[in-house]
Structure 1
Amino acid sequence: MGSPENPLPTPTTTTGTAGLTALLAHPAKAVVALDFDGTLADIVPDPEQARAHPRALPALAALAPHVASIVVITGRPAEVAVRFGGFAGVPGLERLVVLGHYGAERWDAATGTVTAPDPHPGVAAARAELPALLDGLALGQGTWIEEKGQAFAVHTRRATDPQAAFDALRTPLAGLATRHGLVLEPGRMVLELRPPGVDKGVALTRYVDESGAETILYAGDDLGDLPAYTAVDALRANGHPGLLVCSGTEVPELSTRSDLTLPGPAAVADFLAALAEAVSAT
């Protein structure tokens, strides 16, 4: 499967093998769902500089016409993911959907528009308290805030000691989230505050129900992808074949649950290209 230059990797689990086999046999009944940062795009010190891997977009465009749907599910605002991914106006991706803010926002390539609910009031209230909280912790330079509209995140990757800053922030930010009716989502040197009841598992389950797909492939790289993994497990228990792909090994909570672990976004792009080759030959 795939080509000699780019063979299709083999899952390491029986459930993953069954999911891949079902996808290859009936691609038109499959949803391919993907995280953005760390999966389609490399993790970089400044998230504003993140872009989809150069091989990702051609692979997605080659794969999309053969499957029921491709959906990107990300914690970023949908418009930002579309811009950084270069997804708009790409031949082959006319049916692409991007679910931003863990599914709270939706962008459809067919219309080029974003739909979103009103922001949770707790986000603005917590954001107003954040500068004083950070000043009180005296973490030094390098810790910074990413505004997401429906949420916000505090990054420590550029701090002098990223892990120490992350650890120092976790409990105070959890308290801030609780006071304002939000949830705290930890990631790779980032802590995000967002509204409750919104996660990638909920978004994925709703999208699969909407699409009527029978088979699900989900690829992610970080703790925020765990709810999507759990959703795929639940769908598999209900008779839907599924394949869980992990990009990288930095998050063992994810990689130990995956059916197929790839080294990072470049390998994910090559996997998607090999998958496109395989389904186009059926």
Structure 2
Amino acid sequence: MCDDGTMTDRRAPAEKSWTPLTEAGRGLLDAVAADPGSVLLALDFDGTLAPIVDDPADSAMAEESRHAMSRMDGKLAIMAIVTGREVAAVRRMTSVDEVPGLEHLVVLGQYGVERYDAASGALRDPEVPESIRIAKGRLEQLIDELAQHDPRDAGCRIEDKGRAVALHTRRAADPAHALTTAVPRVRQIAEELGLHCEDGRNIIELKSAVTTKAQALRELIDEVTPRVVIMCGDDLGDVPALDVISEWIGQGHPGARVVSYSDEQPSMADHADIICDQTEGISAFLEALADQVCSTK
């Protein structure tokens, strides 16, 4: 459980800002200021560091968040992006290798299957399974069938994520209807190919490895043995990692679950110690965090 297990101040986040909801959230900045070098900061990418866009290929990290993270780079125990995206995509969208400021960033992609360490250049990049290649073709056929059967479902698209493939309905004529229609068919494909389904905001994803962000986060905790652990996320795929933070706090350690809140996924408020107004609120939170880290002598 996290603190007393209840949301003490259930309310919407301040516009373009952030609001602590629990004792853990209210005490976080003081805990960070006490020892920045013991802090593990993990962050989801889409919907957290980057605004959700119609075409995932057009996604880009918010400059304000990048600036705040660059201020903390090298000053924390570890700062990591934990995402369902491929490492290669995140490297491109953060400009980690081209623009100075994130020289110590760690990227755990595909829910931790891939890993990139900016400081050393070390890359963990397993081969893509054949089942994912087959699933991509099956999903492409599916979106054609959906569009032909019902015009409300026209406009779905497929995103190739390397070791995963996703069906997006955000650009469909009726995104909610398209998702409801597609999900049973996608789950059937997953079962036939031995793949795992991951649900999200107007998306259902098939991945080859039954890995979660919780496993990726535990890997980081075991690696650096932090005193303070923070996880920032926005969607259902982040919940397992947020639950790790809940356990961490329940064991008496400082930390917080930081949620980039959207009306598209209102249940995420139930997993927050700090709630932010989407990516702009996350940027404001990271700036406040950086102020604490950088003010420490």
TM-score (norm 1): 0.91
**Quick one: distance in 2 between partners of 1:30 and 1:122?**
38
Alignment of 1:187 onto 2:219: no
Letter in structure 2 aligned against 1:102: Y
What is the deviation of 1:169?
Answer: 0.6
Q: Corresponding residue for 2:231?
A: 218
The DSSP-based 3-state class of the residue aligned with 2:63 is: coil
**Quick one: distance in 1 between partners of 2:22 and 2:199?**
28
| Match among 78, 82, 87 for residue 73 of structure 1 | 82
Letter in structure 2 aligned against 1:197: V
What is the deviation of 1:253?
Answer: 2.3
**Quick one: distance in 1 between partners of 2:202 and 2:233?**
16
| Match among 115, 118, 123 for residue 124 of structure 2 | 115
TM-score (norm 2): 0.86
| Match among 243, 261, 264 for residue 248 of structure 1 | 261
**Quick one: distance in 2 between partners of 1:147 and 1:10?**
35
| Match among 105, 116, 120 for residue 114 of structure 2 | 105
Aligned pairs for 1:255-274 (under 5 A) are 255-274=269-288
Moved more, 228-237 or 33-42: 228-237
| Match among 161, 164, 169 for residue 151 of structure 1 | 164
Judge conservation of contact 2:261–2:268 (CA < 8 Å) in 1.
no
Moved more, 231-240 or 184-193: 231-240
What is the deviation of 1:130?
Answer: 2.5
Alignment of 1:83 onto 2:97: no
Q: Corresponding residue for 2:293?
A: 279
Query: Given the superposition, is the C-alpha separation of residues 176 and 213 from structure 1 closer, same or farther in structure 2, using an over 3 Å criterion?
Result: same
Q: Alignment RMSD, CA only?
A: 1.8
Q: Corresponding residue for 1:5?
A: none
The DSSP-based 3-state class of the residue aligned with 2:248 is: helix
| Cα offsets for 1:111-131 (capped at 9, x unmatched) | 335312222343223223323
**Quick one: distance in 1 between partners of 2:176 and 2:211?**
26
| Match among 209, 212, 215 for residue 199 of structure 1 | 212
What is the deviation of 1:227?
Answer: 1.0
Judge conservation of contact 2:139–2:167 (CA < 8 Å) in 1.
no
Letter in structure 2 aligned against 1:203: A
Query: Given the superposition, is the C-alpha separation of residues 181 and 240 from structure 1 closer, same or farther in structure 2, using an over 3 Å criterion?
Result: farther
The DSSP-based 3-state class of the residue aligned with 1:171 is: helix
Query: Given the superposition, is the C-alpha separation of residues 213 and 54 from structure 1 closer, same or farther in structure 2, using an over 3 Å criterion?
Result: same
Judge conservation of contact 2:143–2:157 (CA < 8 Å) in 1.
no
What is the deviation of 1:89?
Answer: 4.3
Judge conservation of contact 2:29–2:289 (CA < 8 Å) in 1.
no
What is the deviation of 1:136?
Answer: 3.6
Question: Identity of counterpart residues, as a percentage?
Answer: 37
| Cα offsets for 1:20-50 (capped at 9, x unmatched) | 4322211110111111111111111111111
Runs of 4+ in 1 over 4 A off after TM superposition: none
Tell me how many residue pairs correspond in the alignment.
275
Moved more, 242-251 or 68-77: 242-251
Please list every run of 5 or more consecutive structure 1 residues that lacks an aligned counterpart in the other structure. 1-7
The DSSP-based 3-state class of the residue aligned with 2:133 is: helix
Please list every run of 5 or more consecutive structure 2 residues that lacks an aligned counterpart in the other structure. 1-16
Alignment of 1:96 onto 2:105: yes
| Cα offsets for 1:84-120 (capped at 9, x unmatched) | 1222244442211011111111111113353122223
What is the deviation of 1:69?
Answer: 1.3
What is the deviation of 1:201?
Answer: 0.9
